[in-house]
Structure 1
Amino acid sequence: MSDELLKLRNEIDRLDEEILARLSERARCAQRVGEIKRGVMYYRPEREAQVLRRLAELNPGPLSPDAVKTIFREVMSACLGLEQPLRVAYLGPAGTFSESASRKHFGSAPNFMAMAAIDDVFRAVEAGNADYGVVPVENSTEGAVGGTLDLLLANPLKVCGEVRLRIHQQLMSRADGIGAARRVYSHAQSLAQCHEWLNRNLPHLPRIPVASNAEAARMASEDPESCAIAGEAAAQLYGLNILAPNIEDDPNNTTRFLVIADHDAGPSGQDRTSLVFSAPNRPGAIHGLLEPMARHGVDMTKLQSRPARSGLWEYVFYADINGHRDDPEVAAALAELNDRAAFVKVIGSYPVAAI
């Protein structure tokens, strides 16, 4: 071993010891915070977003800003776990993209609870059996998740965060090559997201939709003549070989998830507000509802109609706007909207997620 390499390794050992000492010091500070805040809400999404944003801006390299965020999210997750481990419900089973989104947002320290349906995630949080829930709300290729939108309207829970997860679909199997495959299992949405790749590479194999990508991986793990389309986490969970990586037709395919709780978040400086409203049945009603947003300079990033449960041909409108509900211009626009709309519900204000 060269003298230079030995010197570098000794320096790395010294730095590791210094990092460990600093992490222990930070953990003790977090424990003290937990003692001071005993009985109050101890997880603050806006504070976490501010810390991660600040560290990414201070990052001198060579680590990427995303790498810095990932490292410090795990640090914060572990420290928060010292105060009181969070219980996070997500749309299961284990190995789904919903689990990956949950871990991306909360780190590895919480107790993660796989739920059978989106309704069950809402129910677990509302009943107090989980502190937070993570549910899919829209995909850049396949559009909105209607069930989530309906539950956000009907349920008293708030949105306190969002997660944007790049969806990379992997073809996996127990076999070492594609030649042994006789069928492909996956969720219907994933099959649609990989439609063109399958047409080019496996045109003759039957495509069998199942309840989830993780279930597809489980079935493939029991059948050497089948393969599954799922995420990398499912391949690891069920011990499958990835035969073809990133087979999604759209390389920018992204799913947006919402974090639900009995509270939303305070202002972080880069926020989004989600709301739902209905328009009175008269000409120009929608224009009248949107006009205050434009006049107060509030940027609307999403507007989507959905049939209301109240009657035939009646609709509600889901909107996302930039800014926090407590920001003066947003508050002014929402006050006017309340005066003009037949119904308004602010679903929550929360920090904007980065990819």
Structure 2
Amino acid sequence: MQEKLISLEEFWELRKSIPVVDARSEGEFLQSHIPEATNLPILTNEERVIVGTLYKEKGSLAATVKGFELVGPRFHEIQKSAIQQFEKGQIIVYCWRGGMRSQILSWLLSMIGFEVFRLKGGYKTYRTFTFEEVRKNWSLLLLGGKTGVGKTRILKELEKQGEQILDLENLANHRGSAFGAIGQKPQPSVEQFENLMAEELRNKDPEQIIWVENESRRIGKIVINDHFFHLMESSPILDIRKSDEERIQLIQEEYSMLPKEELIAAVNRLKKKLGGLRTTEAIEDIINENHTSWIANLLIYYDKTYQFDLERHEPSMVEILDLSGKDLSESCQLLLNTKNQINGKLTNPTH
């Protein structure tokens, strides 16, 4: 069955029902890839180095012949793997530029009856899109507030109510503090984070506001690109206030069940900033499960950090909103009312 070349525009629709296969090496795939793609490498990491070196030294023909020499003995294994993984016999395939590797995989699978759609321009075309998408001039409204005011919970509730949100911490697999990686999956690369971010943004209405939690430039090992971070810094921010008791209770709900050794390791990472005495006290409280005490101890540091971060924003762009004693539903309604005042129009004009 003959392959069909598809554009990126066609790709968006086809991938809803057809699995995506990445023909690049394991290392390339691990670094970044189209989300939800499956890796079926034509050349392994080691083989790719060999072929690449030969290409530089002796040219395209020698590299191509060597590539076939290396991968040829595995042709049947690649076909069997595809049969096992993709029972319907349909795939979308790509490599770096939509060239040799995806062509070989397309040919191999077409020979055994697969219907193959090959992405024109390969991953490079997709990555060009995601790079540009996360650097557009989006309209943002930031959720700010000290640690423990429940920004992430509020963000999720706003989404349930039909608001556009972008959960950067969820995409980064990190809560954005020294404790942020505990209980999370490994973080993606910065490039993969941008791919995930772009996938979210491409479904947003650019004419409408997107709610984003106020973050520092770095979320764990992830660094937000300069343009988007500048948008965040120059966007209105709703500074949520909650009582200390409410904040400590929320943090306790989220962190008290986590492994003690990981909590202690996080405290130790802050030792230089906390000082020896407070570090020792916090660790003892964690060991003794005195959660209220160690959380209150660390909030002294985090509150100072937040205040410093808040001062990056133009004071006229900061709106203080006291949500003490308010549940999620009440909190969101107040936030939406404030958004309407900022935006100068109703959030849902059809309601």
User: TM-score scaled to structure 1, two decimals?
Assistant: 0.26
Q: Which has the larger radius of gyration?
A: 2
Structure number having the greater helix percentage: 2
Structure number having the greater strand percentage: 1
